[in-house]
């Protein structure tokens, strides 16, 4: 599937460019907030990405100028609202007093500000590394694998891909 940032001719990775553009734009589009199941903390933004792609396609067909910064702002606000709401709700439901945010998305200025604001209002401590340490999760997994490798700890050949694998469970003692 073509990611929507490619429709704006933004280079990969699109996240940092969207974040930069969003700081310059206005929230002029009504992009959907994808809540999924009310009792779920799952995220899926495929419907949002489709909405953005459709909006851009329709504007191009009608020769309506596309203000990239406004698209980025509206997209980012939609994502940030859902992520912030669900993170705060999960903290409340499970009595979590400290929210730790990591990975590439943690470098997004809009998300960082929204989480900081909502954590303060809800008396939740927020821990986010500096943006230069908010890298892709693959890099973090690679480092974990590197240290296991240095220790001579290897998984057997039956290991398969899992989205939430326990590294200790799958490494030989």
Per-residue model confidence as pLDDT tens for the chain (173 residues): 335 555 665 666 778 888 999 999 999 999 988 776 777 888 888 888 889 989 999 999 999 998 999 999 999 999 999 999 999 999 999 999 999 998 888 999 999 999 999 999 999 999 998 888 887 777 777 777 888 889 888 877 887 777 776 766 655 44
Residue recorded with tokens 């693959």: 138
CB of 67 within 8 A of CB of 20? no
Class of domain 4-133: alpha beta
Q: Where are the domains of the chain?
A: 4-133, 136-173
- Per-residue pLDDT, 7: 61
Task: Determine the Cα angle at 43 with ends 99 and 33, to 5°.
Answer: 105
**pTM score of the predicted model:** 0.75
For residue 62, how far is the Cα from the chain centroid?
Answer: 32
Instruction: Report in angstroms the alpha-carbon separations of 48 from 21, 29, 32, 64, 165.
Output: 18, 12, 6, 21, 28
- Which alpha helices (DSSP H) does the chain contain, by range? 4-7, 14-22, 46-61, 68-94, 109-121, 137-150
């Amino acid at each position: 599937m073509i990611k929507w940032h490619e429709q704006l001719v933004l280079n990969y990775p699109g996240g940092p460019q969207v974040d930069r553009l969003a700081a310059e734009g206005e929230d002029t589009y009504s992009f959907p907030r994808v809540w999924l199941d009310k009792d779920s903390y799952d995220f899926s933004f495929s419907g949002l990405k489709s909405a953005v792609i459709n909006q851009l396609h329709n504007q191009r067909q009608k020769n309506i100028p596309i203000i990239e910064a406004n698209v980025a702002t509206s997209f980012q606000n939609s994502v940030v609202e859902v992520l912030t709401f669900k993170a705060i709700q999960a903290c409340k439901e499970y009595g979590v007093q400290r929210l730790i945010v990591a990975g590439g998305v943690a470098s997004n200025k809009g998300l960082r500000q929204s989480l900081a604001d909502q954590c303060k209002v809800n008396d939740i401590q927020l821990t986010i590394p500096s943006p230069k340490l908010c890298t892709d999760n693959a890099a973090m997994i690679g480092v974990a694998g590197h240290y296991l490798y240095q220790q001579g700890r290897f998984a057997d050949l039956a290991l398969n891909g899992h989205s939430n694998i326990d590294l200790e469970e799958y490494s030989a003692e």
